[in-house]
A and B are shown apart, each in its own frame.
Chain A
Amino acid sequence: MKNILDVFRFHTADISQNSLNEVLQTNQESQKYGLVLTDAEARGLVETRNQVISGHGRVELGIEPVKKIIRTFCNSPYIYPSEYAITMSELIEIFYYMKNETGDRIGDDELIGIMYEYFNGSCRGSLELLKDREMALFVRQFRRDLQGNREGDGI
């Protein structure tokens, strides 16, 4: 019997056809903006998701955040068809990085919304600026506020 306490089974499982289909279904919406994922790219995104989750020491229940990121970002004027898959891959990485950095205190939808605002706003589509400047500043401010709230609560 495999270790019954092995919570990693959530994300080390083989890429199921269901997960792939779910990712490919996002093409229905993204193709309105000229963005389409091939089978291989969809598989690559699921693989990236698995690696990122594992690398960040996280457990993920499903493929939902990946779909949400694709659906949210596909209307961005800064994403080009030739860089669509790689951009999504980077955004997935930033998303889980931020989940850790904010100590899981921000919900998935809210975090994706924040990333979207910065990406289309001050970053003008730059993933480097998004991760290394805006998100880094955001985390710093977030922690400061958190500390302030704790001190206010006398913790």
Chain B
Amino acid sequence: MKHNISPDQPGRIPRERLDPYHYTISLIQEATRSGRMDQAAAEEIQVQLMDLLAELILRYNGGESTSLKTETAQRILLSILYSVDAGMRSLDDPEEGLSRLKTGKVKEVYKLGLDLIASCLEQTRQMYEEIVNNKLDIPNIAYHSTLNSLPDFFKHYDMIFSAHDTMADIDYPLLFDDMKIEGIFYIHQYLQKLAFETAFCRLFRLTDVKKLLSNYGRVYRINYREALINVFEIVLTNSIFAVLSDGRADVLRLSRVQYMQVKNQFARVDPVQCRRTIDQALLDLAAGLGIHQTEWRDYICKFTSVFLPRLLSALDNDCLDHVMILDEDMKTHVDIVLGEGKRMDDEKFRSLVDHILACPDREEKAAIIAANTHSACDFIDVLEADCLFGDEYAALFSILGEMELSMLARIVFADEIRTAPGKFSLAQEME
């Protein structure tokens, strides 16, 4: 088949112009747009893909049927494209890929992609074993449950019919995750980063990491065992402050003296200077901890974009101790009333809600709630049970003391306070 393609056509397609997540399709679109491929050639590639799909549909049905549901066919086609993408990305440059597509070698590229996927699967499996052998002994449920769920992914991953599927229960957040990647390549990058983050945390004493998490939980009033927190980020943050205050990167326990030191250091410092200081601190930190690999040094240095706004906001709002986690036993602050054991049982709770609903008077409703709820969780459950209407909420809040209201706000807006401590405004949230 002849197409209007001339090998000496000027201008090559630069790789950066292509979408790495939909490489083949973006290459075809770019080649068509720039006139390097005509409509007929693009359709011929489509025909080749459909031939591959027909082959896989028969294989999927064990040769016993020539039809299947559209969504299944679409899933198989996406799986084919995932493999073709893998093959195309592995070629030296987009031109070579384009030339293979145009010369009827879609199936060849597909097989190349399948081989790469198979090898990536094996590598990822080995990497997983290594991570499990070196995992951190920290009390964080998401960290362990994510690792525990991955054998199921490896067991069920189907590189022929669902190569693009990322069917894994990944709850533990990375500092910088790329969720646009799919299938085995996603799991590969996830584990690669998790391995680095884990290795980084292992550079510190485990007792210090655990103490830091406990202090972090105290400052943000969260249960750090159950929260979806990135341990590496918390460790890295304190390590930066250690470098800034003490010049040592391998320290996590920070004192009030160091806190004052950092606070003074950044007083009247403009954001540009601040960025420079943080960039340098991150480089010093990487050097101090012996992290010389460019990829991982860059991973650490990228943290400036997350850390700097947080630091500037904390300095502006005079709450640096929410970013710099100090090693203090602040017993007076450990006053969260969230005792699971104090909660009433379901039956009692239902009966209380019925009682509140049946009551016509708002003051009386508030009194019933005040007399019957003794834990913050029960109190919040009552608020969410749709048994109060209009100004009945105000009547209830009016009988609460300042401390109770403040505690309630801390619980209700825990996430907002933790993620943007400087920017949180109760008045704004209430609006």
- Cα-based distance from A4 to B53 in the complex (angstroms): 12
Write the chain B residue with the least CB distance to A6.
B46
Residue interface bits B57-69, CB-to-A below 8 A is 1, else 0 = 1100110111111
Q: Does A32 lie at the interface of the complex (its beta carbon under 8 Å from any beta carbon of B)?
A: no
Q: Does A8 contact B (CB under 8 A)?
A: yes
With most chain B CB atoms within 10 A of its CB, the pick from A59, A64, A100, A107 is A59
Nearest residue (CB) in A for B32 is A1
Cβ of A39 under 8 Å from chain B = no
**Which of B42, B43, B54, B69 contacts A58 (CB under 8 A)?**
B69
Asked if A99 is at the interface (CB within 8 A of a chain B CB), the reply is: yes
A57 and B77: CB pair below 8 A?
A: no
Q: Are A5 and B78 in contact (CB under 8 A)?
A: yes
Which one of A61, A62, A100, A104 has the highest number of Cβ atoms from chain B below 10 Å of its Cβ? A61
Q: Mask for B191-204, Cβ within 8 A of A = 1, else 0? A: 00000000000000
Interface check A93, CB cutoff 8 A:
no
Contact with A along B208-245 (1 / 0, CB 8 A): 00000000000000000000000000000000000000
Interfacial chain A residues near B45, Cβ < 8 Å: 4
Bound complex: CA A104 to CA B68 (Å): 7
Interface set, chain B 329-387, CB cutoff 8 A to A? none
* Cα distance A100–B72 in the bound complex, in angstroms: 12
Once the chains bind, are B43 and A99 in contact (CB under 8 Å)? Answer: no
Contacting pair A1 B67 (CB below 8 A): no
Is the beta-carbon distance between A61 and B62 smaller than 8 angstroms? no
Question: A109: CB under 8 A from chain B?
Answer: yes
User: Which positions 1-60 of chain B face chain A at CB distance < 8 Å?
Assistant: 25, 28-29, 32, 39, 42-43, 45-46, 49-50, 53-54, 57-58
Contacts of B32 in A (CB 8 A): 1
Which single member of A8, A57, A65, A107 contacts B69 (CB below 8 Å)? A57
Q: CA A98 – CA B61 in complex, angstroms? A: 15
In the complex, the answer to whether B61 meets A107 with C-beta atoms within 8 Å is yes
B145 contacts the other chain (CB 8 A): no
Q: Could you say which of B39, B43, B70, B81 contacts A59, with CB atoms under 8 Å apart?
A: B70
Contact, CB under 8 Å: A1 / B28:
yes
A109 to B61, CA, bound (A): 12
Minimal Cβ-Cβ distance residue in B for A60: B67
Interface centre among B45, B68, B74 (most CB of A within 10 A): B68
> DSSP majority for the A interface?
mixed
Chain A: minimal CB distance from B143 (Å)? 29
Quote the shortest CB–CB distance from A111 to chain B (angstroms).
Answer: 8
Interface string of B72-85 (1 = CB under 8 A from A): 11100110010000
Q: Which residues of B contact A5 (CB under 8 A)?
A: 74, 77-78, 81
Query: Once the chains bind, are A57 and B28 in contact (CB under 8 Å)?
Result: no
B46/A2 in contact, CB under 8 A: yes
CB distance from A22 to the nearest CB of B (A): 13
Q: Quick one: given A1-B29, A1-B42, A7-B77, are A61 and B54 in contact (CB under 8 Å)? A: yes
In chain A between 27 and 69, which residues have their CB closer than 8 angstroms to a CB of chain B?
53, 57-62, 64-65
Number of residues of chain A lying within 8 A (CB) of chain B: 25
Judge whether A99 and B67 touch: CB under 8 Å: yes
Q: Is the C-beta of A110 less than 8 angstroms from some C-beta in chain B?
A: yes
- Contact B50–A59 (Cβ < 8 Å): no
Question: Which one of A2, A4, A8, A65 lies within 8 Å of B67 (CB-CB)?
Answer: A65
B68 and A9 form a contact (CB under 8 A): no
Residue interface mask A59-86, B partner, CB < 8 A = 1: 1111011000000000000000000000
For residue A134, CB closer than 8 A to chain B, the reply is no
Measured CA separation A20–B333 after assembly (Å): 82
In chain B, positions 308-325 with a C-beta closer than 8 Å to chain A are none
The verdict on A108 contacting chain B, using a C-beta distance below 8 Å, is yes
Interface centre among B45, B61, B65, B68 (most CB of A within 10 A): B65
Q: Residues of A contacting B64 with CB < 8 Å?
A: 107-110
Question: Using Cβ atoms and an 8 Å threshold, which residues of chain A touch B25?
Answer: 4
Q: Distance in Å from the Cβ of B66 to the closest Cβ of chain A?
A: 4
A9 lies within 8 A of B61 (CB): no
Q: Is the CB of A4 within 8 A of B49?
A: yes
Give the residue name and chain of the B residue nearest to A65 (CB): B66
Q: Which residues of B contact A142 (CB under 8 A)?
A: none
Chain A residues near B66: list those with CB within 8 A. 60-62, 64-65, 108
Complex-state Cα separation, A7 to B78, whole angstroms: 11
The contact string, 1 if C-beta is below 8 Å from chain A, for chain B 146-168, is 00000000000000000000000
| B270 at interface, CB cutoff 8 A | no
Q: In the assembled complex, which residues on chain A have CB atoms less than 8 Å from the CB atom of B71?
A: 57
Given contacts A2-B46, A61-B54, A109-B64, list 9 more A-B pairs with CB under 8 A. A7-B73, A10-B50, A58-B68, A58-B70, A59-B57, A59-B67, A59-B69, A65-B67, A104-B68
Q: Can you list 16 A-B pairs, Cβ within 8 angstroms, ordered by A? A: A1-B28, A2-B46, A4-B49, A5-B77, A8-B70, A9-B50, A53-B67, A57-B69, A58-B69, A59-B57, A59-B70, A59-B72, A61-B66, A104-B72, A107-B65, A108-B66
Which B residues lie at the A interface, using CB under 8 A? 25, 28-29, 32, 39, 42-43, 45-46, 49-50, 53-54, 57-58, 61-62, 64-74, 77-78, 81
